[in-house]
Chains A and B, each alone.
Chain A
Amino acid sequence: MPDNLVHSAKTADTERASHIASAEHPSYLRHHFNSTEQQADTTNFAMWLFLLTEVMFFGGLFTAYLIYRNWYYPAFVAGSHQLSVIWGTTNTAVLILSSFTMAMGVWCAETRRRRGLVLALSLTFILGLCFLGIKTIEYREKIEKHHVPGFHYSLQSFIDPASDPEVFKEYHDKPLALDMARHTELYFSLYFLMTGMHALHMIIGIGILGFMIWRARAGAYTAGHVTFVENFGLYWHFVDIIWIYLFALLYLISRH
């Protein structure tokens, strides 16, 4: 038999096979995919491409932070001393725990445990809100001390560190010259920009979690189609990774 005939016979077989398969394919399989596996791999690939654009976005902020820290090192050290390591550590633990509950949610969806999934998503939701609550406490302290960049920004803590006893007794910072002290405003600009963008991602995530809890209660993700839960999990873990770096860069590396 000539090659092209063999080929067309094979193609016909394949078509018949896929036709039979399509007669009983699950309702969530889109018609332009061969199989549910292909559909899952494709959406997974697309989600990662989105996350890589997010890496570049946050990467720009991290790079700006590192450059300015290198240029105005004393100001960035003094600015960093205003942050509470205890709150930062607590929030890191909260977020890691929420990543764990999210991962457990994905497992519940994969193994078709509806109640487990609702519980895992609800815990993730609550831990996400805890994180934002702690962030609010931290932001409020910055607002009270006039450390929010803008017209009301105060250099008091940096040109006269002894006037800020809580921070002074821990770090004993020397007063900064006025021109260097002014660059602490740049530290706080980047602090609010980076933690703010991170918090915005958390708020969006918590919103989607609310929607997912509602859908999960109806059993939407525990009938075999787990793509949405899985890809949301990727997003949530990504936000966790950003925080792991923010915690190290903003809170930890300038303590001496």
Chain B
Amino acid sequence: MNQVNEHAHHIVGPKVYVAILFALLVGTALTVWASFIDLGPWNPVIALAIATSKAILVVLFFMHVKYSTKLTKLTVISGIFVFLVLISMTLADYMSRAWGNW
């Protein structure tokens, strides 16, 4: 028979979920706290970095990607990669059009 699944279905338990919940709430508190400090151009960078860390935790643990098949992992990674290519090329275009004219 075809070897479609690489390993048996992995069940993620409540302990992991509680730990992730805690980490996400800490991340939220951290990002709100950071928004009160004036860091100039670094405010958006920090906010997006924390948001991305939170999103990665959700994807890996709540959405089980850490324990899923190679097919799922590859799908998620390639999808996000294509998304980043699209968004960065679009932004690079728009944000460099008036370069030096402001």
Contacts and interface: CB of A to CB of B under 8 A. Distances in A.
B80 A37 contact: no
Given A89-B28, A100-B17, A237-B62, A244 B1 contact: no
B63 A234 contact: yes
A249 B95 CA distance: 17
B79 A48 contact: yes
A99 interface: yes
Interface stretch (A23-31, A59-67, A141-149, A205-213): A59-67
Interface in B35-85: 35-36, 38, 40, 43-44, 47-48, 50-51, 54-55, 58-59, 61-64, 68-69, 71-72, 75-76, 79-80, 83
A37 B4 CA distance: 8
A111 interface: yes
Majority SS at the chain A contact face: helix
Contacts, number: 145
Given A48-B76, A244-B54, A244-B55, A104 B17 contact: yes
B58 to A, nearest CB: 5
A110 interface: yes
Interface residues of B, number: 53
Interface string A93-117: 1001101101110110011000000
Given A45-B71, A96-B25, 17 more contacts: A18-B1, A37-B5, A42-B4, A49-B75, A62-B87, A70-B94, A93-B25, A96-B21, A99-B58, A100-B21, A102-B62, A104-B14, A230-B64, A241-B59, A248-B47, A253-B48, A255-B36
25 contacts: A17-B1, A41-B72, A45-B72, A48-B79, A52-B76, A52-B83, A59-B87, A67-B91, A70-B94, A89-B32, A100-B17, A100-B21, A104-B14, A104-B17, A110-B11, A234-B63, A240-B58, A241-B54, A241-B58, A241-B59, A248-B50, A252-B31, A253-B35, A253-B47, A256-B40
Interface of B: 1-2, 4-5, 8-9, 11-14, 17-18, 20-21, 24-25, 28, 31-32, 34-36, 38, 40, 43-44, 47-48, 50-51, 54-55, 58-59, 61-64, 68-69, 71-72, 75-76, 79-80, 83, 86-87, 90-91, 94-95
